[in-house]
Amino acid sequence: MENYVHTLTVKLTKTTIKIIAKNDEKVAEHEIQVNMVLGYYWSKNLPVLEKFLELIEIVVKNSLSRVFPHEKLKLKYGLKANDNLESATSIFIKFLGIKADTTEFKILGDPIVLEGIDERNNLSKFTSFRRKIKKVVEKEL
């Protein structure tokens, strides 16, 4: 019996996030143009970081579906932000576990880090320690 390789790789550049799923010889790659996506959310007055997290989850699911058809996908990732999601100017996402049905995928590559210009006023910056986010998110898609 052959040993198949199941991996999900995250690669970052200054402007893109590449999600690459691999199952043995099958490979699926999706690229997110970060500035374009965030600009669209902002222009439509959408909750930018919440929508961005949804997009990451959907892209991971679609990438894995192309190389490994499955019913259920379990995602586990660490999420850190320097304020609540509406006001955060820095966000850090690190995948901790990915399981498609009963198959675990090895996670390779970089954590996702977004940093923007901090235009919060001094009081908001000073009191943000109460609103900072540091949690593990577990979802089934």
Task: Note if the pTM is more than 0.85.
Answer: yes
- In angstroms, the CA 70 to CA 66 distance is 10
Res. 32: pLDDT tops 50 = yes
Instruction: Indicate the SS3 state at residue 1.
Output: coil
- Tens digits of residue pLDDT in 60-72: 999 999 999 999 9
25 contact partners, CB below 8 Å, separation of at least 6: none
